[in-house]
Amino acid sequence: MVYTETIKLRMLSQGVSDITGNVESAVKKSDIQDGICTVFAVGSTSAILINENEPMLINDLKKALDKSAPEEDIYQHVENAHSHIKSSLIGNSQTIPIREGELTLGEWQSVMVANFDVDQMEREVIIVVMGD
């Protein structure tokens, strides 16, 4: 069985939004008990992050990503190369197991979408639930 849902979020530049509730709700609606849930960020400057949703930690993560791809650096791909690089390092897709109708996230694991672009943008996330 396959259940799919699309969510759209207006996001600030460098914004991170918690979508755990949306993903849990999609799993519930699917009525799938055992399987997997794939969460995919549409867009080459966005990413899906599974980690603790704690604002100070998110700041620390952004600073760490800035070491590899600082906003104020010289790039061949002008304007937003750093946004693309951060997206590539975190990744656009994550897949989470489902057992007994629930995501198997740990106590401190939230599902978040990041908009690494230099502008605010409407971001699209696709959630696919598959299984029995």
| β-pairing verdict for 35-42 and 121-131 | antiparallel
At residue 115, what is the residue type?
N
**In whole angstroms, how close is the CB of 116 to its own copies at the nearest point?**
11
Task: Tell me how far apart the alpha carbons of residues 15 and 32 are, in angstroms, rounded to a whole number.
Answer: 31
Of positions 7, 24, 84, 101, contacts its own copies by CB under 8 A:
84
Q: Which residues bind its own copies (CB under 8 A)?
A: 1-2, 4, 34-36, 38, 40, 42-44, 49-52, 54, 56-57, 59-61, 64-65, 67-69, 75-77, 81, 84-85, 87-97, 99, 104-106, 108-109, 124, 126, 128, 130-132
